[in-house]
Structure 1
C-alpha cells in the first residue's frame, strides 16, 4: 500500500493559479488578479498565497512587480507543467541527497575497513559490467545501483543496511530515471572506480574524498538540470 503524500496549502494554491492561467488562456505579460482578489478566489490566507507566488516566480511561471501587480511570465504548455514537475523533483532529490551523504558516507568509511576479498571480486565484476554497458551507450542505472548496494553490504553493519533498506524507495530515485533522464549522472562513473580502489586498498581517507566528489557531482547535475 502506498503512503499518502502530504500536500501543503501553498502547493494547492500554486496549482490553482496555474489552472486559472490555463482556463483564462492568459498570455505572457497578462496581469493576474491582485493578492487580495486571489485570497478571496481561492479561500486562503495571504501567507499561503504569497508562498505560492514565490514558488511560481522561482520556476518562471509568474513575475511579481512591487506596486504594479502579478504578471504571467511563461505559458508554453509543455514547459509550464514540466518546470513545476522538475522543480519539485529537484528539491526532492536535493533533500534526499543530504540524507544519502550521511548514511552512504558512513557505509564507505566502514566498507574501507571491513570489505572482504570475496566482496572485492564482486564489486570488480560489477564495475566490469558497468564499463561494458557504458561503452555500448546502454542503460547503466541497474548496475550503478548494484554497485552502491555492494558498498553498503561491505560496511557489514546490519542496522545501517536496514536503515538504507527502509528508505530504498527514496534512494533508488537517483537511479530510476531522475528528472526524466536515465543518463543524468553518467559523469560520476570515474568516481566509482577511484572510490572502489580506495576501499579495496583500505584507504579510508581517500575513499571518503572520492565519495564526496561523486556526491558533489550529483548535486551539481541536479541543480543545473534544465528541461
Structure 2
C-alpha cells in the first residue's frame, strides 16, 4: 500500500490490539503527516471507521481523549476540528515509575492524586452548575449500582472523578488526568490481586458529591482526603 494518494496521506488499518490507543496514535500520526493546522477539519467519523477498520465507539473514545487534552473540538453539524498541533510525542505523558515495587509506585501516585483531586473537588464545589451536578450524580449512581452488584468498581469510579474534574470548568484538570490515566489504571486495577482494595472508601464518594452540591469547598476537600486516606491505609496494609 502506498503511503500517499496524491498529496493526502493514508490512514492505515490496524492490527487487533488496544484499539482505542492505536486509533489515538494513528490520528496523531495523520495530523502530523498531513501537516494539519489549528482550524483544519479532521476526517469524518465514518471515514475514520472505514480507514482504521474499527467501530464507532472506538473512534469516539479516541476523539474524547483528544477533547480532554484540549486539542480538538467537535462542532454540531459541522465536524471535528483541530485546535492545536498534535503529534505522537504529545498525546501521552511518559511517566517514569519503578514497576518492580508496586507499593512504592502506588504511594507515589497517591501523593500526586492527593494534590490534584483535593484541589479539583474544592474548585468543583465553587463552580459547579446544575448541569454538572446532574452528570456527576449520574456517574455516581452508576458507580454505586456496579459496586453493590460486584462489590467493586473500576471504570465507573474513574468516570465519577472525571465528572468532578469537568465541573471545575478548568480544562487543565481533565488534561492532567487524561495524560496520567494510562499509568494510573495500569497500577490501580486490583492492586495486590485484591478485589476489596479501597472498598471502604466507597461511601465517601456520595458525601463528596453532597459537599459539591452544597458548594462547600472545605467539606469537598475533607471528603476527598477521606477517600485517599482509606486508599493509603489499604496500600500499607495489603503490601505487608
TM-score (norm 1): 0.59
Q: Which runs of 5+ in 2 are unaligned?
A: 1-87
* Unaligned runs of at least 5 residues, structure 1: 8-83
Question: Residues 178 and 93 from structure 1, CA distance in 2 versus in 1: closer, same or farther, beyond 3 angstroms?
Answer: same
Work out the CA distance in 2 between the residues paired with 1:121 and 1:173: 29
Aligned counterpart, 1:181 = 194
Question: Whose helix proportion is higher, 1 or 2?
Answer: 1
Q: Identify the residue that residue 176 of structure 2 maps to in structure 1.
A: 163
1:125-172 superposed Cα distances (whole Å, 9 cap, x missing partner): 222222222222254111111111111111111123222222122333
1:140 to 153, 165, 175: 153
Matched, 1:206 2:204: no
| RMSD over aligned Cα atoms | 2.5
Which residue does the alignment assign to 1:105?
A: 118
Choose which of 194, 205, 217 in structure 2 pairs with 1:192. 205
Pairs within 5 Å for 1:17-32:
none
| 3-state SS in 1 of match to 2:150 | coil
The yes-or-no answer on 1:128 pairing with 2:145 is no
How is 1:70-89 mapped onto 2 (pairs within 5 angstroms)?
A: 88-89=101-102
Write the distance in 2 (CA, Å) between the matches of 1:150 and 1:135.
21
**Range that drifts further, 158-167 or 205-214:** 158-167
CA distance in 2, matches of 1:224, 1:156: 37
Q: If you compute each CA radius of gyration, which structure gives the higher value, 1 or 2? A: 1
Kept in 2: contact 1:114–1:156 (CA 8 A): yes
Q: Quickly say closer, same or farther: Cα 1:215–1:117, change in 2 above 3 A.
A: same
Deviation at residue 175 of structure 1 after TM alignment: 4.2
Q: Which residue of 2 aligns with 1:45?
A: none
Q: Which residue of 1 aligns with 2:185?
A: 172
Cα deviations across residues 66-101 of structure 1 (Å, max 9, x unaligned)? xxxxxxxxxxxxxxxxxx95xx11100101110111
Question: How many angstroms does 1:106 deviate by?
Answer: 1.1
The 1-side partners of 2:135 and 2:107 are apart by 30
